Structure 1
């Protein structure tokens, strides 16, 4: 595992803060799980949140059970693994499986269309992993209820594995439902749970080599107490020192890496850990550098950045967790608390929220918010102009992130032509189009998964963000058994709840509602090109 500096300014800032950290004995104290590092107010939370440091060894206790589970699933003809879970641990599972090139369906959404895609897979060959620390996460509760009913109505013997902490509400649900229960080690949540049962159980069932993952993490673990030759200290000093020097936009680059999708997990980890008390580091995925003075480019296994990080996936997980905890210390923020993001409240879906009349309508797109523009290109221009110096634009789409693959493709199209067709039906393409028209960072996130990741930064970080939310009409909703709301109703309530949270903090936000989703996305992308 190696972290190397390719920018003199970064190297100088990192050396300065690393010297202070070493003088205070921080590397060894953090590696030893000292909860007093982040101050008296954070000590209680830190005391129960540093369990991730033990996972390279503690999670090995799971390997026999995981081997038995995976073997049984293969014997039963399981080819479809569905993970119902939210937050960084689910993103970690997605990275593990994508890197190992094994299929995994991650349900971290309340979008009815995306959930229906998963439900359409043959139940006879499906195992569902329901993962959550306590069982209070509304999305995961909905997914469990929907799959329990689906298995019951189909006559197929339910194949559900529940991963949770001992004594949790979800553990009780597993016992009541007769589901296989795997206990997770307490003390590792969100992005810090990448090497925990929450990520390892679905990855092992999908066919990934999780023992190798733990081996690679265990190999680097002894380095984390060192004052020199410590890749976690090197990385934490780089990103934290750069942020203190004003380079608080962390651009993540991985185009040449064999590790697939790691920046998405890093984005969640850094965003939820540092964005508090008006401070933080904004992670940016998929963006080309503008060489702005507030940018720091960190590259995974390539020389295109200011910092290069090399190493296998298991070690990467551990090093980034350690480095992010250090960055929080340098910024004087508690990396483990989530003060600005509460769990989504299912009661919000009991009644249709009042949204009022749109400010304007441009074809299949309704615009809500304080805008003076007369059309959609004008709205985009207003938002870009509103980004303050040192600020950013965040695009947040409460839509089906798989819907672009439904786009019609010309007969006989090659892969490049298919990719072009998908891109022009993908809301995520809006990020790149708007980024071409500003020198400020533009981020993109899917709701509601973003509320368990960068949502903390959006609400608790610096007051320099401009927000563009996208919602869409639901044509084929999904009922939630035992709940007085549908998935579509919940998704809409979550979107409006997040919007209200931003507005209550004085953060400018506009919502675009697609009355026809496919036509609406096409209009968004066309309008962005007209700016």
Structure 2
């Protein structure tokens, strides 16, 4: 089998209780037939134009030869370094595909000036840029494209020979890219970004980077029939029930890679599940952890552990009492199964898994700040060079860095979670991710870690639309050297600052506690943060 799953404990109880009804309701065959009524009347309009991913394998086959031909053409010209400018589903799927297969793909999913500058300086002479955006209006991707256009032109390179665009047909980007002479691949407009792994959004950058994308499609095709059949061993039904039908609901889904050959899959699943289910005060919050994470041994009542392994075993119902979900399989099969399972989870939770009503609020707030460009709010205080800001309940009771963190954690409810949001150069400072385990041990509750602004297209929806039980730690940095955005009145530094401030303001409007720590020297101040966390 290209996919296997085993469940025990509460997850097994959920599968036994719920899957027979899903089978009787013909949910699996209904998803495959693109029945928009499965999620209720309020979701029908959106679902009617968001189920194209169920036939992505067949629709993507004709793209393979075209992608390979372009790859060969570029390599014949000495162009062998592929950079992807994309956010959310447009970047996370190609990233996991490339990392798993060992292909080199530089993913630029940040507006941090240092990270953008480093990407521009990396082998520009042999670089091609893939610009991926459904609408073309994504501010991060538009800014990155402008920066590369200017860099290519300054180096005497025709941008039209080096920029490849993936977008929906008829989008503003589609029209402008064709007018500029760029190579354009159109994706199925009936597929939402987070379900687009097996469409042009996942395949074009991966294929250009050297991945055997036909094999990825073969792997997905091998699981299509089992997913379409209304049967109690349908892997999409089993996984959907296991993650969304426990009683009481274990809505913190702790995902750990434990021997799987797939690299970075949990980050892709995090975006798919959080953005699809986190709305109307409900949802499943994925928590991506390592093997030493405190959550794995804390025995928390609202945590469901998912282990990504290389062999989940032959039986769906495991003999052990771990209460865990164990999944294994090929990458292509995993991508399609989790998409089905997330759609099933939406039905079980009673929400529309295809919209993202709260993502736009942070974008609007950021745009407002970019238009007005007010002076930054003064820090409540500065501790060891770190500027401290936050919502009144957090800052009002704090006098130093230690007490500020203490107060934020005191706001954490018994069924809550802490979200760490690092608007920091993740290439230059990957070590900041180490703070996640320290905070999880200190808080005794699940802790998510996201790089800003990329998490805004992922868990950002859950933060505002899901259960109001989160507290938020923002880490931002002062850019030593900013970077202008061609033909825009703001810089990359101003953009990422507006994105952080805009999201903080929306969280505050939703009565979420926020602590913002602005670092003036990230490398030196990481140890200060470790000490303050204790």
Query: How far off is 1:106 after superposition?
Result: 0.8
How far off is 1:347 after superposition? 5.3
1:93 aligned residue: 94
Name 1:179's counterpart in structure 2: 182
Contact kept? 1:364, 1:523, Cα under 8 Å = no
Q: Which moved further from structure 2: 328-337 or 426-435?
A: 426-435
> Are positions 1:292 and 2:263 aligned together?
no
Seen in structure 2, the aligned counterparts of structure 1 residues 133 and 224 have a Cα distance that, compared at 3 Å, is: same
1:319-373 per-residue CA deviation (whole Å, 9 max, x = no partner) reads 0000011101100111011111117354532343344322221112111023222
2: distance between equivalents of 1:309 and 1:518?
37
Aligned residue in 1 for 2:316:
none
Post-superposition offset of 1:374: 2.3
Range 141-150 or range 357-366, more displaced = 357-366
Q: List alignment gaps of at least 5 residues for structure 2.
A: 313-321
Residue pair 2:7, 2:242 contacting (<8 A) in 1 also: no
For residues 431-466 of structure 1, what are the alpha-carbon distances to aligned partners after superposition, in whole Å with 9 as ceiling and x for unaligned?
111111122101100111111110000010001000
Question: Does the Cα contact within 8 Å between 2:134 and 2:193 map onto a contact in 1?
Answer: no
Structure 1 stretches lacking a partner, 5+ long: 405-422
Question: Could you tell me the TM-score, scaled by structure 2's length?
Answer: 0.92
Question: Paired residue for 1:448?
Answer: 453
Q: Does 1:350 align with 2:375?
A: no
Which residue in 2 is equivalent to 1:491? 496
2:9/2:323 contact within 8 Å kept: no
Q: Distance in 2 between matches of 1:262 and 1:305?
A: 21
Partner of 2:329: 311
Q: Residue deviations 1:468-489, cap 9 Å, x none?
A: 1111111111111111000110
1:45 to 2:50 alignment: no
Aligned to 1:410: none
CA distance in 2, matches of 1:191, 1:37: 19
**3-state SS in 2 of match to 1:187:** coil
1:506 pairs with 2:514: no
1:122-201, aligned counterparts within 5 Å?
Answer: 122-158=123-159, 159-201=162-204
Write the distance in 1 (CA, Å) between the matches of 2:228 and 2:513. Answer: 43
User: Which residue is 2:485 aligned to?
Assistant: 480
SS of aligned partner of 1:403: coil
Question: Which structure 1 residue ranges, 4+ long, deviate > 6 Å from structure 2?
Answer: none
| Aligned residue in 1 for 2:239 | 235
After TM superposition, give the deviation of residue 190 of structure 1 in Å.
2.3
Q: What's 1:377 paired with?
A: 402
**What's the secondary structure of 1:40's corresponding residue?**
coil
User: Is residue 223 of structure 2 the alignment partner of residue 204 of structure 1?
Assistant: no
Coordinate RMSD, CA, aligned: 1.5
Written as runs of structure 1 = structure 2, the 5 A alignment for 1:390-429 is: 390-404=415-429, 426-429=431-434
How far did 1:396 drift?
Answer: 0.5
Task: Give 1:266's aligned residue.
Answer: 269
Instruction: Tell me if structure 1 keeps the 8 A contact 2:206–2:213.
Output: yes
The aligned residue for residue 340 of structure 1 is 358
